[in-house]
Structure 1
Amino acid sequence: MAYDENKYSVQKLPNPLLLHWILNPGLAINEVILGQRIPKVTLIDKTSKASLIERTYVPCPSCGAIHSGMLWGKGNAFGHWLGYICPNCEQKIPCLWNIFSLLLLAVLSPIWFPLKKIYEQKYITFELSRYKKAETNIAKPINKFTWIKMGASFGLLMLAFFVATEYFRDGITLDKFIFLAIVNVIGGLFFGAVMWFFMGRKKG
């Protein structure tokens, strides 16, 4: 699929950031547990001076529609385990897979594969229903509180994951919980700051 390269910068493999996504073992948690996905092709509007997140677009190879990347941002960044669904033609938009996610999914295939067969169509319907709220969020201004909220949400999700892991492994004590809470609050705020630095600043 051809794009207007005078207007868009095309981001796809072997882009270093996308290589990082598929090779970093820690990001398997984002994919398999949190359902955060990254499309194989992303377009960046070179003509706009808005922040990167506002200049990011996701093309659908099936129908040719070009969607704002913010449809899968803000309050709709997680829960996309089976990938992105095009709001226009309702077909899947190809997404990357972290190689460690694929290894984990191979091990867990007896569990998730039957569930995929049973619930895939319901998943697509659910994904499409989320876009109405996401479109409302696009109209809301992005400020520093947006990134703090994003970092806090990420930190809470990671805290829940690590607490559950410790509970089933050795049991959770108050000391462990406090330690995990402090680590994940700091980690969440750092995540939000990094996202603001790369995605939220206006183009100079």
Structure 2
Amino acid sequence: MDFDQNKYKVWKLPNPLLLHWVINPGLAFNELVLGQRIPKITLIDKTSDAPLIEKQYVPCPHCHTIHDARLWGKKGAFKNWFGYLCPQCDEVIPCLWNFTSLLLLAVTFPIWGWFRKPLKAKWKSYKKNKQLENKDSELIKAKDMSAIKMGLTFGSLMFCFMSLPQIISQDASLKMILTQVAIWLVAGLAFGGIMKFISGRIKI
């Protein structure tokens, strides 16, 4: 699919922001549980002076429609386990996969693999109904957000889901606990910084 190079900047791998999504193991929770995904290709309108979050577009490789990326904001940001459902042609717009997510899916494939097709059909029907319900909803706009607060919240949640169960189940040393806290603190602040860059209007 060709794009107007004078109008759009193309974001795809190995873009650093997309690489972070692919290699950060903590984001497997976002993908597999929350259903948060990132499209393989995102277009940035170079002719617009709007905040970055308001000038991102997602192209559909099937019908070649270029959608406002904010269609997958707010409630639309969740339950996208199979990708983004194109509102125009009802095909699935390909999204990136986190490496840890792929590993977990491969290990558990004998459990869920048999049901993939019916699950996908049911999911497509569900997402289509949600799109119809929300078709008149106002698109999100960039707001002032605290990058540090967002990062600390993300890091705390990831620590609780990823590290705390391991600490509880083992005779964890103080050094191990502090190491895990430090890891998720850094990861959380990095996440907040990335969101700051993406939104363009986040206050420290």
> What's the TM-score, normalizing by structure 1?
0.74
Q: Does the C-alpha gap of structure 1 residues 114 and 162 become closer, same or farther in structure 2, counting only changes over 3 Å?
A: same
Q: Aligned letter for 1:197?
A: K
1:77 and 2:53 correspond: no
Q: Does the C-alpha gap of structure 1 residues 148 and 82 become closer, same or farther in structure 2, counting only changes over 3 Å?
A: farther
How far apart, CA to CA, are the structure 2 residues paired with 1:122 and 1:19? 30
Shift of 1:47: 0.6
How far apart, CA to CA, are the structure 1 residues paired with 2:68 and 2:56? 6
Per the alignment, in what secondary structure is the counterpart of residue 128 of structure 1?
A: helix
How far apart, CA to CA, are the structure 1 residues paired with 2:116 and 2:54? 33
Shift of 1:38: 1.1
Q: Is the 8 A contact 1:24 1:98 kept in 2?
A: yes
How far apart, CA to CA, are the structure 2 residues paired with 1:191 and 1:123? 32
Q: Is the 8 A contact 2:26 2:162 kept in 1?
A: no
Work out the percentage of aligned pairs sharing the same amino acid.
Answer: 48
- 1:69-117 CA distances to partner (integer Å, 9 max, x unpaired)? 1111223222211111101000011111122211110001122223322
Per the alignment, in what secondary structure is the counterpart of residue 9 of structure 1?
A: strand
Shift of 1:153: 8.7
Q: Is the 8 A contact 1:74 1:137 kept in 2?
A: no
- The root-mean-square deviation of aligned C-alpha atoms, in Å, is 3.5
The aligned residue for residue 175 of structure 1 is none
Per the alignment, in what secondary structure is the counterpart of residue 40 of structure 2?
A: coil
The aligned residue for residue 194 of structure 1 is 193
Shift of 1:56: 0.5
The aligned residue for residue 165 of structure 2 is 166
1:53-92 matched pairs, under 5 angstroms: 53-92=53-92
How far apart, CA to CA, are the structure 2 residues paired with 1:146 and 1:76? 22
Q: Does the C-alpha gap of structure 1 residues 14 and 141 become closer, same or farther in structure 2, counting only changes over 3 Å?
A: closer
Q: Is the 8 A contact 1:21 1:27 kept in 2?
A: yes
How far apart, CA to CA, are the structure 2 residues paired with 1:33 and 1:9? 31
The aligned residue for residue 177 of structure 1 is none
Q: Does the C-alpha gap of structure 1 residues 158 and 78 become closer, same or farther in structure 2, counting only changes over 3 Å?
A: farther
How far apart, CA to CA, are the structure 2 residues paired with 1:157 and 1:117? 32
1:122-133 matched pairs, under 5 angstroms: 122-131=122-131, 132-133=133-134
How far apart, CA to CA, are the structure 2 residues paired with 1:10 and 1:107? 33
1:11-160 matched pairs, under 5 angstroms: 11-131=11-131, 132-133=133-134, 136-138=137-139, 140-144=140-144, 158=158
How far apart, CA to CA, are the structure 1 residues paired with 2:2 and 2:190? 34
Per the alignment, in what secondary structure is the counterpart of residue 30 of structure 1?
A: helix
Shift of 1:162: 5.4
